[in-house]
Amino acid sequence: MASKQQKYAKLEAHSGYTGLWKTDLSNACIASPGFCCTSIFCSWCVSYHLRKRALHNDMTRYLCCNGDWPCSGRCGEQSCPEFCLCTEVFFCFPQSVASTRWMLQDEMRLQNTECDNCIIGTMFAAQYLACLCWIAACISGNDILNDLAILADNIADILWCS
């Protein structure tokens, strides 16, 4: 796990990135409709494939959530990286997508557009709202909160897959 100073230095370095994504997030589905449809129906498979591709098929480089969480590197990734990546994309899907994007962004020194930042922020907010709704529904046992949690979770999933 990186120190706070290292993380702040990494964030500061992002502001100096000058490259642009070939396709921004708002046009990704239009640019590759087949890939977009595949990601809707098998998002975990696509996330797994993209991370493996980002690692240049070298799974010895794999680190859970790309080292973004305190538990990263402590989950036995080196002994069975393929299984750990499968587990990551299934149980921590939003984080796996974000980690892969950030990995590519750092490697290629790419900056986000303002629209990209808005889309990413909305996806994170929807995922956190869904999580809070599920917690509230579990604690209260309220059917309305449970329905709200299901709705928020579906909206968050649609945002992540789009």
Distance CA 156, CA 94 (A): 9
Give the number of other Cβ atoms within 10 Å of residue 84's Cβ: 18
Kindly calculate the radius of gyration of the chain based on its CA atoms and give it in whole angstroms.
17
pLDDT at residue 53 in the model: 95
Residue 72, classified by CB atoms within 10 Å of its CB into exposed (0-12), middle (13-18) or buried (19+), is middle
pLDDT reported for residue 56: 95
Q: What is the pLDDT of residue 120?
A: 78
The per-residue b/e assignment along 136-154, b for 16 or more CB within 10 angstroms, e otherwise, is ebeeeeeeebbebbeebbe
Q: Is 52 helix (H, G, I), strand (E, B) or coil?
A: helix
SS3 for 56? coil
pTM, two decimal places: 0.73
pLDDT computed for residue 58 by the predictor: 95
pLDDT at 74: 81
Q: Which of the residues in the chain have pLDDT under 70?
A: 1-4, 6-8, 11, 160-162
Beta bridge partners of 97: none
